[in-house]
A and B are shown apart, each in its own frame.
Chain A
Amino acid sequence: MQALLEAFRAALVSLLANRLRSVLTTLGIVIGTASVIAVVSLVQGFSESIKQQLAGLGGSTLTLEAVNTNENILFGKINRITFEDLETLRYRVPGVAAVAPVMIVQTPNISYRDRTVTSEVRASTADYAPVYGRFPVKGRFIASADDQGRRRVAVIGNELVEELNLPDDPLGEYIRIGSEWFRIIGVMEKQGDLLGFSLDNYVVIPFDVGRAINGNQLRPFMQVSFTIDDVDQVDAVRDRAKRAIQTARAGTADDDTFRIQAADSVVKQFEEITRTTTAVVGGVVGISLLVGGIGIMNIMLVSVTERTREIGVLKALGATRRDILVQFLLEAALLALLGGLIGIAIGWGAGALIASLIPGFPPAAVPIWVILGAAGFSALVGVVFGIMPASKAAGLDPIEALRYE
């Protein structure tokens, strides 16, 4: 330990003696680490913000949706989730708790006084709020009675208050959706935006009202999210639901026309994308770090030659091969680490700058493991590429080294 500390001191002294050269030498490592950190911070920031958007949709929420391949869409043979599927899920699958169907209503024009905007109109039930974990900040959500009574009421996304130029307290105001008038009973909590798109530009109306508006459109676009009684039973309930729907459809549809997945599987998909991107970037930049390592090896070889006499002196004073080896290895590692740290700082700054320059891009985030990894890896590069120069130094013959001019 004491010996290592000494070697560390010696390495530091020697690096400080050649400050400018030390910094220039590490340029390859600086650039390499800076690019990793910048890219990773952007990717991580991106995935963090997606995860936050999807937070609240835990592992106990499952979503039933139709699966359509490109071919299906091309030939107009589009698979959909039907009202029968909804009934099946509601009444024939034990373990299912709240069921919230969401049907898109095909009348996107919404007006208030002389303002008209386009928005997404979702028809759903009272279960929407608990299942999606989204609640109103003003007023109340749609109740079962609204559904049964086919009441023309609407809960609006936060963004619409401003878009439609509604009063600060819009409860009780009437908006027109398509050709029908709806009374506002609630305003939903703010979700923010994802990639520059607002997540608060929507209206929720009672499910049966939406069904009536869609009218003759027998097979509207619909997906059904549902919670389950016991979180540990997720897989069992999912299988049961799948079989029940297949049975109910009685062979009219294959099981690859729909799927049931956990809401957090979307998060998992994003994590997968993030991981892949990070790995690819890591690989590419790893190569640039190797180039940086060769730069370090080069300068260390020069340094060993320059200091041949000094090494001879140290050996005469009693330094063993190992002492010399450790000193030069540490010097190379320290040099690379220095480059790594400068690179981390630059990359961090660059990531934050880029994120702030692109409108709507989430803020960059640098996880601690990336910083530690980058620092550790650059030090490792130093050690690996320091081995050759260091063993050259350690193997010098003391007498020849002392006589070296």
Chain B
Amino acid sequence: MIAMRGITKRYVMGDQEVRALDGVDVDIKRNEYVALIGASGSGKSTLMNLLGCLDTPTSGSYLLNGRDTATLDDTELARVRNREIGFVFQSFHLLPRMSVLDNVAQPLVYRGTPRGERLKRARESLDRVGLGNRLSHRPNQLSGGQRQRVAVARALVGEPSILLADEPTGNLDTRTSAEIMALFDALHGQGQTVIVVTHEPDIAAHCRRTVRMSDGRIVEDRSNADRVTEHA
């Protein structure tokens, strides 16, 4: 489903060059549950953004569902984000002026889904995350955990092939973090492919596979079940 080869991402700041990613090869298959861990600044978010087609690599190839993303233009990348990817961010990133229901329905707007159908699917998605009774609230009327659930519902509403979460529990307390991770576990159990960026071992422990990054490279890639190191 995901095949990355020799991916690099460089940023030029003044006369300095930052190698945010320095040759990443990674494959992720359907219904995997992957934790992307590593120290701050190791390149996790950069990789996440490339996986989600929010950004393009400096070099290397990225095949998503068999399609070479290098050949896609701006509009096609937007389409891929809309159909294939569901994002969950650390700071929720809900739309403050819209109701919970409209927030969740928003991705379907860009598919041209009629409003009635959109709201129906948004309601179903909110039911999935256990928030079926907060439809007309504004995001600022919800707790952090509830907001993140709304964000998950929004990521799921378009039935994406990959759920990408960048530090989804970074702004939450331990108990709510556990609830969100339980939700991810359940989604994975229902067949969803999930990739979670985190620097907390507790969170990573929920996943079936752990990919550790350091200085823009993958330094460890192991399955949590058998704890066998596949990469050095």
Contact = CB atoms under 8 A, between A and B. Distances in A.
A318 B107 CA distance: 6
Interface string A282-324: 0000000000000000000000000001101111111111110
Contacts of B106: 314, 317
A13 interface: yes
Interface in B16-37: none
Interface residues of B, number: 28
B52 interface: yes
Contact of A320 (B55, B107, B110): B110
Given A2-B112, A2-B114, A398-B54, A317 B154 contact: yes
Contact of B82 (A2, A6, A14, A317): A317
A309 B79 CA distance: 20
A318 B78 contact: yes
Contact of A323 (B52, B96, B110): B110
A318 B112 contact: no
Nearest to B94: A313
B55 A321 contact: no
Contact of B79 (A13, A318, A402): A318
B112 A13 contact: no
A390 B142 CA distance: 31
Contacts of A318: 78-79, 81-83, 107, 110-111, 158
Nearest to A3: B112
Given A399-B54, A399-B55, A316 B110 contact: no
Contact of A315 (B78, B111, B154): B78
B74 interface: yes
B97 A17 contact: yes
Interface residues of A, number: 23
A14 B97 contact: yes
Interface in B66-102: 74-75, 78-79, 81-83, 87, 89, 93-98
A399 B78 CA distance: 13
Q: Which of A3, A6, A312, A323 has the most CB of B within 10 A?
A: A6
B139 to A, nearest CB: 11
A317 B107 contact: yes
B49 interface: yes
Contacts of B54: 315-316, 398-399, 402
Contacts of B186: none
A321 B77 CA distance: 11
Contacts of A316: 52, 54, 81, 87, 93
B93 A313 contact: yes
A144 to B, nearest CB: 79
A319 B106 CA distance: 9
Given A313-B94, A317-B106, A318-B79, 5 more contacts: A314-B106, A318-B107, A321-B74, A398-B54, A402-B93
6 contacts: A14-B97, A310-B96, A316-B52, A317-B107, A321-B78, A323-B78
Interface of A: 2-3, 6, 13-14, 17, 309-310, 312-323, 398-399, 402
